[in-house]
Structure 1
Amino acid sequence: MTKKVFKVGIVGCGLIGKKRAKALAPNGKLIACTDINPLQAQSLSKVTGARIYPSWRELVSLKEIEVVIVATNHDSLALITKVAAENGKHVLVEKPGAKNISEIDSVISIAKKNKVKIHVGFNHRFHNSLLKARELIDSGEIGDLMFLRGRYGHGGRVGYEREWRADPKLSGGGEIIDQGAHLIDLSRWFLGDINNIQGFACNYFWNMPVEDNGFMMLRTLKNKVAFLQASCTEWKNLFSFEIYGKLGKIDLSG
């Protein structure tokens, strides 16, 4: 039986867009791409053979495209996703999917109305180490889960306060909506739905209008707790995730 190969278009041909394009085979084929920077689109097209379109609206309206990947800054994620869904396309949109709750609720509503699937790119769930952790937990290897601790950090770099992530109009917020989104997603994946949220958004180092450190404490309906920190004041990139069970502990780092 021949396996279906989806025809894909990518909006946003930067680092993440290129990574998504590289990962498409064997289930997808990139046939169209676009970027506000023509050089980025040309770079991706040269490697993949995808046709370049000057406008993302033109790309998402192409009849032949079945799946759209949205890999842009946070400020345009929701809009592009909604228009793609209205054109009957399934969408993989980069995290956090939108700048705020109102935007993401609108995305969900339009997806349901048009009967298409929207997936937010929480790729950490598919890392081998985290899949192994999921397997160990599901098998009862470390017993009932009690709590977890997670840290995610960007290494500091000169000029960080001038990047798009530091502009709330483009990013929607600081480290909590950026790296923190991955930690929140993993906490829900391992512990279950959250019903109590506490935290602090702090700016300790960078002169910018969004937080450079976010501290969160999440509690589930079953009283399992996640202690999380997202930061862009680390000396180098950091990922640390500790899962505590009654019979053992899983420690992931990188």
Structure 2
Amino acid sequence: TSLYQSPRASGLSEHIARRASFAIVPAPILISVGVLTLIFGRDHPAGRWSERHHVPATEIATEQAHRIDDDNDEKIDEKKMQATAVNVEPVTIDIAVNKRLTFKTAFEILTNPVTWLPPLAYLTTLGVELALDSQFSIVLFGLYSKSIPGFTQTTAGYYTSIFGLLNVVARPLGGYVGDLLFRPFGTRGKKLWIIFCGMVMGAGLIAGGIYIEDHNAPSDSPSLATIMGVFLLAVTFSEF
């Protein structure tokens, strides 16, 4: 991209230019987000980490004779808890309560398959997008640098940047659709939406790869519009 080409035009090597490009824009953004998180972020939905037991779930658990441990492994004094108005329905509910982390609880968490579902889903969605963001410009440049006049690395980078720009629309829209499905179908609706998006994403990636492989001859180069359309579909559903 132009951010990479500028240091190269100044005489820097490819290795140094890439490192400089990362330091010029992404690194300051990451540091700024981290600082803002430290300033404005909260340790826990209840506020400070020391106040993590001052939530309705803990109060309900206390009423049901659950033992709640604080940092000193002592039972919480109910008088020290913040007054919270809670309407308790006479039904059996599953209450999530903060517990002190031990080797036993850590092992139980790590060996629970449910623990790995979110990271695996994130790996196969955001991971796909990041892989395309970082490598797809190389694919496009290799395919069209000779067949399309003026198709430079910068041009390939511009085409690839569309994948990142899609986040502005696809992420909020995907969440909105998930919320719509949650109202009539509950959690099952969201699960089916995630599975559907993953299947469309996978089908798009496979179709794009097969298309490039079948049109890789010099006399039969793949259509740029077709490639972008197929992979944009895959990336859109990965961002959903």
> TM-score, normalised to structure 1's length?
0.23
Tell me which protein shows more strand as a share of its residues. Answer: 1
Q: Greater Rg, structure 1 or structure 2?
A: 2
> TM-score, normalised to structure 2's length?
0.23
